[in-house]
Structure formats: structure tokens, C-alpha cells
């Protein structure tokens, strides 16, 4: 027997080989156990995993994250990638920035692949530019416009191939980028479109020869959001014809008060409406309203201020709203109470139950509240801390002498407060006196109170005696929140 043969028969080497084999078996067993403990979802049936994936989509199909869900889930493992590719709902929302660095060929190929994976599902499409529609695009930046129109020439024709599946569409771009919509007429309106965002308006439409009538007969369109800009305003949207008469929900950004009145005159079926109002601007003669418009079904009207000199209350001069229940007014330094009183006079049966305002001065607020006797909730926004204390003291004084009806039905009061300086503190004593008075009303005591500081500078917290009085109010049934946005101190 030679030396090599003897070495191979050495029992110690045989034992080592046996141990190595056992280690490999144990390592394989350990790996399987770890994977089953760490990733139990992998063992679920495909049907359940698919249902979980679908429920991971955001409620708003135009949310930024809607486009990311399929990509993120598909990168976890091969099995999840196969599952995501088999679920059309995950590919039914698509969002793209026209400022993207992608080549036109990449955009074209990516869109076609994405839309093919959505199969026959209703589509939610979001086309935007990075600055957002509220940001003005320099019309003299030829390079930007050339690139943007190149993207539009690629994207819009591909989307038009699937127009029958449009459901939620957001063209949050300078609207001339979608001028190719003029290639279709009103008889080819998207049959399933329910929500549309268009913006921002502009003056130059390039080679557009005819108005865009593609959307004017969209049978299911009920919700519209229009974004204007500070240069072109409403006339920049004139080439786009829209089915205003059938809308029930409308939002407008950067409208002047007169433009608000004009657009509202086109929407007799409106139920809810929000405007972000800018300074008054010169408008086209055909956008001028000469007499108040009656909107019989409008229940909620919110007129927020988009610029410091905006006058949102002026829009009320052109409206009659017999069924209005919710009214919100942005910051307005003019006489606010008189237009509200006139609105109520014209609207006869109107009974506003929910009122919100920003930084409305104490006397003006008091005059408004005298007219709004049916209020159930009152929301006071963007108040300086010292102004807020004054308003609370005014409300308390209005409750006296006892027995006079002041806000007799009020059940909810909200105050958003800002502390801009370190000097001075909040008077919880004034607040507690008001709450205690309103909790003791025999007919309708105040049920809910919210006081939130919206600035990083905070006042002192309630002391022991004040905290005890707050707790007594809570024990009597009042829901109270007093504190920062992170948590209540009560």
C-alpha cells in the first residue's frame, strides 16, 4: 500500500467529510427557517398577496406615490415582480414630469410599456412640470419651451390612443403643451373622465388653429380644477371649452374676484367650490358679470387669499346662494360683514352653519357673527396670539348679559394661533371663562374646542389650577384640545 492510498483511507479524513456534509445540511435548514420567519408574506397564496398589493395604493389615484407602488414592490424579489406584472390596477396610475432628463425615446417606450401593463383598467394620468403649475414659466426661455413641447408631442398622442380609459387626468402644465387635444372633436370626448386638472393658463398657444372641444361633451366629468397665473388669468383658458354646466365640484387657483363670479355663473349645478384668490386684474369684457348669479345647490364655498392684497369677500357681491351651509373667507382687510349680510339678504333661506375666516379683526368678526345666528362650527385661522386673546374676550363679552341669543347653536370652536415673539404669554384665564360660560348654556352647550399653535414659538403650558379647570370641562362632556400640532396639553 502506497502512502497516497493510506491517506485516503485515514478515518479522520472520512469523519471530517461527514462533519462538512452535516454542516451544509444544517446551514440549508437554518436558511429556510430564517426566511420563513423573516418573510412570512412570501408563503402567502398569490391571490392574497395580490390583494395586499392593491390595497397599498393611495386613496387618491393622482397621488405621487401611486406611480411608485408597482416599481417598489416589483424590486423586492422575482416572485413579487411576477405578481406586480400580473395586476393591472398597479399600472393604472402614471405620473411624469415634463422637466425629466429622460430622452424622448425613453419616454415613448416607458409610456407604452406602462400603459400596456394596465390592460383595460381606468387610467389616472398626471403630467406636470417640476416647479408646479403655481410657478410661472418664463415665456422667453425658448430652450425650455422647445423641450417641453417636444415632450408634449410624444406624450399627448400616446395618451390619446387610450382616451376612452381616462378617469382622473391632471395636466398640471402650461396648457399649450396639450394643444394636440385639438386634433379630436367633441364627438370623441372621453366617456369615463370624472376629474380633470388643467393649468396653468397662458397666452401663447403656438400653432393652435381651433379651440379644444375634445372635453366639452365628457359625459361623466363632474370635478374640475383650473390653475391660472398672474399674467394671463382666465382669458388664457379661453381656447379650452369645458362642460361647466354639469360640474358639481370646482377648484380655481389665482382667480380674481370677478373671474370667480364669471366662472360661477357658468356652473348652475355646483355643490362645492374652492377659490384661491389673487389681486384684482384687468379682465376681458366677456368675463364681466353684471348681476348676481343664483346657484341653488351650492352648499360649500371657500374663498382663500392667494396674495396679500386679495379681496375674497368681493366675490360674494355677485352671488345668491339659498342653500349655502359652509362659508370660508381668506384674509381680507376690508369691510367683510356687510357683503355677508347682503348675501344673506339676497339668499333668503340661506342658513350658514359652518364659518371659517383668516385673521378677521375683532369688530368685523363680531358683526359677521351677529348675522350668522345658525352657526354650528366656527373656525378662526392664522390669528396672532394677542389678536386671538382679544377675539376670545370679545366672544365672552358677547354672551352678556345672559339670556341674549348669541351663537345659540354653536357646538364647535377652533382657533389656530401664531406666537411670533417671545414677549407676552397666552391668557388661559380668558379662554377658560369663555369655555365655562359656553358649557353652562342650557340649550346647546359647546361640545368641542380646539386651540392649536401653528408656529414654533410656543407659550407656557397651563398651570395646575388652569389644568384642573380644563379637566372639569372635559368631565362635563366637552372635547378639548389645547397645545401644539404634536399633542394636546390638556
- List the one residue out of 474, 458, 469 whose CA is nearest residue 421: 458
For residues 449, 451, 452, 455, the Cα torsion angle rounded to the nearest 10 degrees is 160
Count Cβ atoms within 10 A of the Cβ of residue 79 and give its class: 0-12 exposed, 13-18 middle, 19 or more buried. exposed
Q: What's the start-to-end Cα distance of the chain, in Å? A: 93
How many whole angstroms separate alpha carbon 404 and alpha carbon 410?
14
Question: What pLDDT shows up at residue 432?
Answer: 95
Closest CA to 355 of 312, 324, 386: 324
224, 129, 116: which is closest to 165 by C-alpha? 116
Q: Which has the closest alpha carbon to 427: 403, 401, 396, 382?
A: 396
| DSSP state at residue 240 | B
Q: What is the pLDDT of residue 179?
A: 75
Q: From residue 305, give the alpha-carbon distance in Å to each of 40, 195, 205, 257.
A: 51, 24, 29, 10
Alpha-carbon separation of residue 470 from 286, 410, 441, 480 (angstroms): 57, 19, 17, 8
Residue 425, pLDDT score:
87
CB atoms within 10 A of CB 414: 16
Question: Do β-strands 223-227 and 377-384 pair in parallel, antiparallel, or remain unpaired?
Answer: unpaired
Per-domain residue ranges for the chain? Answer: 29-91, 376-490
d(C-alpha 426, C-alpha 381), whole Å: 16
pLDDT for the residue numbered 139 = 60
Q: Walk along the chain (490 residues) in steps of 10 and give the mean pLDDT of each run.
A: 57 87 91 69 81 89 83 88 92 85 87 93 88 56 76 87 93 79 76 91 70 89 90 82 96 92 95 92 80 94 92 92 95 88 90 93 87 92 91 85 75 92 86 91 87 91 94 94 92
- Position 98 scores a pLDDT of 81
> Closest by alpha carbon to 303, among 314, 291, 293?
314
* pTM of this structure: 0.84
Amino acid at each position: 500500500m502506497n502512502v497516497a492510498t493510506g491517506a485516503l483511507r485515514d478515518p479522520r479524513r472520512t469523519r471530517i467529510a461527514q462533519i462538512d456534509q452535516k454542516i451544509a445540511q444544517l446551514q440549508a435548514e437554518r436558511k429556510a427557517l430564517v426566511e420563513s420567519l423573516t418573510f412570512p408574506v412570501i408563503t402567502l397564496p398569490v391571490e392574497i398577496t395580490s390583494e395586499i398589493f392593491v390595497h397599498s395604493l393611495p386613496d387618491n389615484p393622482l397621488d405621487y406615490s401611486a406611480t411608485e407602488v408597482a416599481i417598489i414592490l416589483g424590486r423586492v424579489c422575482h416572485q413579487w415582480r411576477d405578481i406586480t406584472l400580473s395586476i393591472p390596477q398597479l399600472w393604472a396610475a402614471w405620473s411624469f414630469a415634463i422637466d425629466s432628463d429622460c430622452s424622448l425615446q425613453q419616454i415613448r417606450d416607458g409610456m407604452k410599456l406602462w400603459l400596456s401593463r394596465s390592460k383595460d383598467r381606468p387610467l389616472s394620468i398626471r403630467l406636470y412640470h417640476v416647479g408646479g403649475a403655481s410657478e410661472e414659466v418664463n415665456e422667453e426661455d425658448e430652450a425650455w419651451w422647445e423641450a417641453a413641447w417636444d415632450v408634449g408631442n410624444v406624450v399627448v398622442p400616446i395618451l390619446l390612443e387610450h382616451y376612452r380609459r381616462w378617469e382622473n387626468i391632471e395636466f398640471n402644465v402650461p396648457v399649450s403643451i396639450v394643444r394636440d387635444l385639438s386634433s379630436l372633436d367633441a364627438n370623441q370626448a372621453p366617456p369615463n373622465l370624472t376629474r380633470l386638472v388643467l393649468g396653468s393658463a397662458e397666452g401663447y398657444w403656438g400653432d393652435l388653429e381651433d379651440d379644444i372641444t375634445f372635453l366639452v361633451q365628457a359625459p361623466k366629468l363632474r370635478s374640475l380644477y383650473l390653475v391660472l397665473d398672474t399674467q394671463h388669468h382666465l382669458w388664457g383658458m379661453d381656447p379650452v371649452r369645458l362642460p361647466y354646466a354639469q360640474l358639481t365640484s370646482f377648484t380655481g387657483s389665482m382667480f380674481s374676484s370677478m373671474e370667480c363670479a364669471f366662472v360661477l355663473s357658468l356652473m348652475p349645478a355646483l355643490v362645492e367650490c374652492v377659490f384661491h384668490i389673487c389681486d384684482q386684474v384687468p379682465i376681458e369684457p366677456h368675463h364681466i358679470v353684471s348681476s348676481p348669479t343664483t346657484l341653488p345647490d351650492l352648499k360649500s364655498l371657500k374663498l382663500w387669499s392667494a396674495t396679500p392684497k386679495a379681496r375674497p369677500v368681493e366675490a360674494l357681491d355677485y352671488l345668491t346662494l339659498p342653500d349655502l351651509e359652509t362659508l370660508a373667507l381668506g384674509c381680507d382687510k376690508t369691510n367683510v360683514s356687510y357683503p355677508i349680510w347682503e348675501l344673506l339678504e339676497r339668499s333668503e333661506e340661506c342658513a350658514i352653519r359652518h364659518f371659517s375666516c383668516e385673521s378677521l379683526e375683532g369688530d368685523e368678526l363680531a358683526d359677521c357673527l351677529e348675522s350668522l345666528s345658525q352657526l354650528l362650527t366656527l373656525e378662526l385661522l392664522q390669528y396672532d396670539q394677542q389678536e386671538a386673546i382679544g377675539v376670545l374676550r370679545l366672544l365672552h363679552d358677547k354672551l352678556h348679559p345672559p339670556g341674549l341669543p348669541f351663537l345659540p347653536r354653536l357646538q364647535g370652536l377652533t382657533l389656530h394661533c401664531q406666537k411670533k415673539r417671545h414677549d407676552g404669554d397666552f391668557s388661559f384665564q380668558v379662554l377658560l371663562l369663555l369655555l365655562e360660560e359656553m358649557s353652562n348654556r342650557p340649550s346647546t352647550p359647546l361640545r368641542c374646542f380646539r386651540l392649536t399653535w401653528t408656529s414654533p414659538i410656543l407659550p407656557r403650558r397651563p398651570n395646575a389650577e388652569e389644568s384642573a379647570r380644563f379637566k372639569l370641562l372635559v368631565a362635563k362632556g366637552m372635547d378639548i384640545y389645547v397645545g401644539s400640532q404634536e399633542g394636546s396639553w390638556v
